[in-house]
Amino acid sequence: MILRKFLSDESGATAIEYGLIAACISVVIITVIQTVGTNLTATFQEVGDALTQGGGGSGSGG
């Protein structure tokens, strides 16, 4: 009787499923953050290069 009740209990399986869902969401978040970081780095590099080359700012003139 106790063994049957133990084998039919699925509360542990639910916790494992929630853990797997949380892990998948974490992987997606990390991937998105890395992609955004890479794009941001490239953008700042382009801006830095344009400033170094004197790329047409309206702030200097005289």
Q: What is the distance between the alpha carbons of residues 22 and 24, in angstroms, rounded to a whole number?
A: 5
Neighbouring residues of 51: CB distance < 8 A, sequence distance ≥ 6: 57
Q: Give the long-range contacts of residues 43-50, CB within 8 A, separation 24 or more.
A: none
How far, in Å, CA of 6 to CA of 37, rounded?
48
End-to-end CA, the chain? 93
State residue 62's pLDDT score.
45
Note the pTM of the prediction, 2 decimals: 0.57
pLDDT tens for each residue of 2-57: 877 777 777 777 888 999 999 999 999 999 999 999 999 999 999 999 999 875 55
Rounded Cα gap, residues 42 and 36, in angstroms:
10
